[in-house]
Amino acid sequence: MYRKISLITCFIFLSCYALAIPLCMYGVNTDEDIKAVKKAGFNCFQTYTQDFETLKNLATEAKKQNIKAVFYPNKITTEEQINQANTWPMLAWYIYDEPDVQKLDPTKVKNTNTEVKNKFKNAPTALVIGQGKTRLNYYNIADILMVDWYPVPHLELISFGKQLALAKARLEPKTDFWGVVQAFNWKDYKQYRKDNDRIGRFPTEEEINFMSWQGIVNGANGLFYYSFNTGGRKLDSYSPEVWQALKNTLKEIKKFSYFIDKGKAINPPFTLPKHLENRTWYYKHQYYTLIVNTSDKNVKMSLPNKAKVLFGTQPIEPHKILIIKYK
């Protein structure tokens, strides 16, 4: 899945690409935050904090909780700090957040990525872009490309998967791919368009679930959710409904993570009706197909011979999924 590094390094650093599907929460800033997201079912987290001592403390708690971390490397500068950081339970080093929005020179991004990889040997590098198709080429620079696209309520819900598909089409096999799902209310953030300022709401459970599965269908091998902290308010208490929706979605995805994580993604051996997106894996001599209905109407499909429905019902309801298994 990730760019390979030596087996010796893998044994030394247990964080070496061993995590199953990354299911991560943004904006985790304290030990108590880590405990909360771990209990909810997340297996990794991100923080915007860059202070070395704070990161060291978070890494210590992450190791206790058996959860991976995503940190900025910017303020880890001395040899002693770098040596310590190379023992942390890292999932990835976060080199840039939306360089496309900042219009950063891709050469600068590439140079930063090289510097980080030369310093830190225990985890891959990742950067996130704010849309699938960018004018400047940030593709295939870091080990992992992430896309954050937050459509609720301003844009079509299915635009999330469309943006991921645009980015995925630009990636080489060596570059892994993660999607960032909206779990916040746009009202809590400054908006720049006069026609939608202060408009917003949290996504519903159905919307969070749909974006998550649509992200996987469109090539994401990991999902992040934004964000646990918003203006000092923690999501589990700020919006218990959204927090429960996240827990329900994680539980659902984990149930089928075995073939998503370990199976080989292939082209489906059958044709689907319009409005159905799908991704198929071959795992232990069986085919597994995840199907997502992107329309606002029920859609019925013909199942392959002797197919077994693992999840969902026919016809597939709007913004719902169907998972089937067959030979």
Residues 156-185: tens digit of each pLDDT: 999 999 999 999 999 999 999 999 999 999
Say how far apart CA 179 and CA 253 lie, in whole Å.
Answer: 14
* Cβ proximity of 216 and 279 under 8 Å: yes
Q: Is residue 101 part of a domain?
A: yes
Quick one: 134 and 111 in the same domain? yes
Task: Report, as an integer, the average pLDDT of 20-26.
Answer: 96
Q: Which of 255, 278, 309 is the last residue of a domain?
A: 255
Q: Is residue 175 part of a domain?
A: yes
The pLDDT of residue 322 is above 50: yes
What integer pLDDT is reported at residue 275 of this predicted model?
Answer: 95
Quick one: 163 and 34 in the same domain? yes
Say how far apart CA 77 and CA 75 lie, in whole Å.
Answer: 6
pLDDT tens digits, residue range 201-215?
A: 999 999 999 999 999
Quick one: 144 and 290 in the same domain? no
Let me know the angle formed at the C-alpha of 46 by 91 and 141, rounded to the nearest 5 degrees.
60
pLDDT tens digits, residue range 94-134?
A: 999 999 999 999 999 999 999 999 999 999 999 999 999 99
Instruction: Spell 20-37 as b/e; 16+ CB within 10 A means b.
Output: ebbbbbbbbbbeebbebb
How does residue 11 score in pLDDT terms, banded at 50, 70 and 90? very low
Question: Considering the chain, what percentage of its residues have pLDDT values greater than 90?
Answer: 88
Residues in a beta bridge with 325: 288, 308
Total count of domains within the chain: 2
Quick one: 115 and 153 in the same domain? yes
Q: Left (φ > 0), alpha (ψ -120 to 50) or beta: where does 312 sit?
A: left
Residue 120 belongs to a domain with what CATH number?
3.20.20.80
Task: Report, as an integer, the average pLDDT of 71-82.
Answer: 98
What integer pLDDT is reported at residue 161 of this predicted model?
Answer: 98
What integer pLDDT is reported at residue 269 of this predicted model?
Answer: 83
Quick one: 154 and 272 in the same domain? no
What integer pLDDT is reported at residue 193 of this predicted model?
Answer: 64
* Cβ-proximal residues to 121 (8 Å cutoff; 6+ apart), any chain: 5, 9, 13, 86
CA dihedral 11, 13, 17, 21 (to 10 degrees): 110
Structural domain of 313? 264-326
What integer pLDDT is reported at residue 279 of this predicted model?
Answer: 97
Q: 159-168 and 205-217 are packed helices; what angle lies between their axes, rounded to 10 degrees?
A: 20
What integer pLDDT is reported at residue 198 of this predicted model?
Answer: 72
Quick one: 288 and 165 in the same domain? no
Which of 18, 21, 22 shows the shortest CA–CA distance to 10?
A: 18
What integer pLDDT is reported at residue 152 of this predicted model?
Answer: 97
Quick one: 85 and 145 in the same domain? yes
Task: Report, as an integer, the average pLDDT of 31-49.
Answer: 98
The pLDDT of residue 196 is above 70: no
The pLDDT of residue 265 is above 60: yes
Q: Which of 232, 255, 278 is the last residue of a domain?
A: 255
The pLDDT of residue 5 is above 60: no
Task: Report, as an integer, the average pLDDT of 197-203.
Answer: 87
